[in-house]
A and B are shown apart, each in its own frame.
Chain A
Amino acid sequence: MSGRGSRITDEEINELVSKLQSLLPESRRRNTGRVSASKLLKETCSYIKSLHREVDDLSDRLSGLMVTMDSNSPQAEIIRSLLRS
């Protein structure tokens, strides 16, 4: 974490920008070279929005599943299957 008093160098910014780029999924990375920071930020924004939508969608599905779930410790079953994987 850069010091609070020191000036942030362009290099540090570029490093963070490419780290961010590496976190985007393959389909969102336009090219392997450096993209403009502005494009990358826009892509990052749209990725975060799509992740939020996925959480929404999965919450809906989990909510629907909950109704059909067995009330005798379904969580144990889920935990077990998660630990198995």
Chain B
Amino acid sequence: MKSSTRNPNPNPDTPRFGPSKLMVAFRFLRALTLVHRTAPNSSNAARSRRIQRAAFASMAYSAGPRRAWSRALLWRLHFHRARRLCAGRSRAAGVPRRPSTTRSPADELRRLVPGGTGMDYCSLLEETADYIRCLSEQVKLMQSVVDSGGPRGR
């Protein structure tokens, strides 16, 4: 695969996929086809959840272990997968939740960014920046798929 640090894009309207974005794209599409093939008769909601998981999974796999947020996501995905395979619920009902008004903006951010809790402020900002970059790329990718997967003959 060509490695290009610069991505010459004279026309900003046409999305260009560099090598790493292509990786995310292929991973995500492969996951999509798996969902399509293995759950043809499931409900829309179940399929949607699987697609959403596939989105976060392909994001995290492509970012790899170099980032705390991707490590946290990968761990979360495997953990939840293991939990689903074992019967029985582990989440206690009625777990008291702290009201959001007492949470500082930084703590709020820590809850939103995977792996953020317990992170020092500096690392949190760095991880957030990377997470936002990858998340918005994922959104663009999914939008492209929706746009190109529309009904034929449009």
Q: Footprint of B on A, CB under 8 Å?
A: 1-2, 8, 12-13, 16-17, 19-20, 23, 38, 41-42, 44-45, 47-49, 51-52, 54-56, 58-71, 74-75, 77-79, 81-83, 85
Contacts and interface: CB of A to CB of B under 8 A. Distances in A.
Interface string B134-154: 011011001111101111100
B129 interface: yes
Contacts of A63: 44-45, 47-48, 51
Contacts of B14: 85
Interface string B74-111: 00000000000000000000000000000001101100
Q: B36, B49, B120 — which one has the most chain A CB atoms within 10 A of its CB?
A: B36
Contacts of B149: 62, 65, 69, 74, 77-78
Nearest to A9: B122
Contact of B132 (A51, A70, A78, A83): A51
Given A60-B44, A63-B44, A44 B132 contact: yes
Nearest to B41: A67
9 contacts: A16-B125, A41-B106, A41-B108, A51-B135, A51-B139, A54-B139, A55-B138, A59-B55, A69-B149
A38 B29 contact: no
Nearest to B34: A75
Given A48-B128, A69-B36, A71-B36, 6 more contacts: A38-B105, A41-B106, A48-B132, A59-B49, A63-B44, A75-B29
A54 B146 CA distance: 12
A44 B143 contact: no
A59 B146 CA distance: 9
B51 A62 contact: yes
Nearest to A67: B44
Q: B25, B55, B125 — which one has the most chain A CB atoms within 10 A of its CB?
A: B125
A51 B136 contact: yes
B102 to A, nearest CB: 15
A8 B49 CA distance: 40
A78 B148 contact: yes
Given A8-B121, A78-B145, A16 B132 contact: no
A63 B36 CA distance: 9
A78 B49 contact: no
